[in-house]
Structure 1
Amino acid sequence: MPEHVLIPYEGSPLAHRALRYACSEFADSRITVLYVVDERTDDTASAGWGDHPGQWEEWLTERREHATDLFADAEAVAAEYGVSIETAVAVGRVSEMTLAVADEYGVDLIVVGAHSRSRFAEFLIGDVARALVRRSPIPVTTVREHGE
């Protein structure tokens, strides 16, 4: 059984499934929920950060506030299982920051939601789960949608 589980979490149904899985299977482990602020994939990011002073910092503050809301939802899910979670926020690419936080925190398992796709789509479209599975030096458990 892992001692410390990390879950990249952005509030999606798949992230909820990954969290529920971790809480049900690893209730006695330390569980950390990670939100990564990634300007490359976040729909609220601006194309021109230099348009006015402080725009980047304002956006980061807004995203950290968003993370607080997501963490409240994650804590409610964990409470259903009688599990306490820890939370963390990082800024950068999701897969890279997930691996960096896993290393920094001494995590020994990553649990992530994953879409099932055809082999052709898997070849063409990179995603966080696939990147983690490919690059992680520790085990990664992928949790898929129902019916896949």
Structure 2
Amino acid sequence: MFKRIVIALDLGEDPKRLTELIKEFMDERESKIYLIHVVDLDSAGAMAETLKSDDEAALKNIAAGLSQKGLDVKTWVAVGSPVQEILAYADEVGAELIVVGAHNKGFASSIILGSVSKDVIKHSKLPVLVLKDRASK
């Protein structure tokens, strides 16, 4: 069982589904979930800070819903390189597992794509759980 789990979240993903999928890897009474969302500076450009502010509100809303289910959830929205930010945050919080998505859709798809997942796996010293989008075949 992992006690500190970082979930790199595309805001288009269903957090309830993610939580259901990782339950077998966590102890609901002792585990802490750290949600991170990264605004890719290369993609967002001058809008990065505006997007960050909007995304912080959305991520806190997701965290509140998960907290109501009794989960200990913390959030972080970063601006920068998704891979570097995810790995740095995992290190900062002492994570034992990183969860990333394999495929996403929509505007936010530039944030966590297959290439980001691959690079997180390649550079992480931690186990990485890759969740496949239901729409992916």
TM-score, L = length of structure 1: 0.69
Q: Partner letter of residue 31 of structure 1?
A: I
CA contact (8 A) 2:35 2:73 kept: yes
Q: Would the alpha carbon gap of residues 67 and 16 (structure 1) be closer, same or farther in structure 2, given more than 3 Å must change?
A: farther
Aligned mate of 1:102, from 62, 79, 90: 90
Residue aligning to 2:58: 70
Moved more, 24-33 or 85-94: 24-33
Q: How far has the Cα of 1:14 moved from its partner?
A: 6.5
Q: How far has the Cα of 1:77 moved from its partner?
A: 4.4
Structure 1 residues not aligned, in runs of 5+ = 47-55, 116-124
Aligned to 1:146, what secondary structure does the other structure show?
coil
CA contact (8 A) 1:17 1:113 kept: no
CA RMSD of aligned residues (A): 2.6
CA contact (8 A) 1:33 1:86 kept: yes
Residue aligning to 2:71: 83
Q: Would the alpha carbon gap of residues 87 and 126 (structure 1) be closer, same or farther in structure 2, given more than 3 Å must change?
A: closer
Moved more, 64-73 or 103-112: 64-73
CA contact (8 A) 2:101 2:114 kept: no
Residue aligning to 1:6: 6
Moved more, 85-94 or 12-21: 12-21
How many residues are paired up? Answer: 125
Q: Would the alpha carbon gap of residues 141 and 19 (structure 1) be closer, same or farther in structure 2, given more than 3 Å must change?
A: same
Structure-1 separation of matches of 2:77 and 2:89: 9
Q: How far has the Cα of 1:75 moved from its partner?
A: 1.9
Identity %: 28
Q: Which runs of 4+ in 1 moved over 6 A?
A: none
CA contact (8 A) 1:4 1:108 kept: yes
Q: How far has the Cα of 1:15 moved from its partner?
A: 6.3
Aligned to 1:40, what secondary structure does the other structure show?
helix
Q: Partner letter of residue 87 of structure 2?
A: L
Q: How far has the Cα of 1:106 moved from its partner?
A: 0.9
Greater Rg by CA: 1
Aligned mate of 1:33, from 27, 32, 35: 35
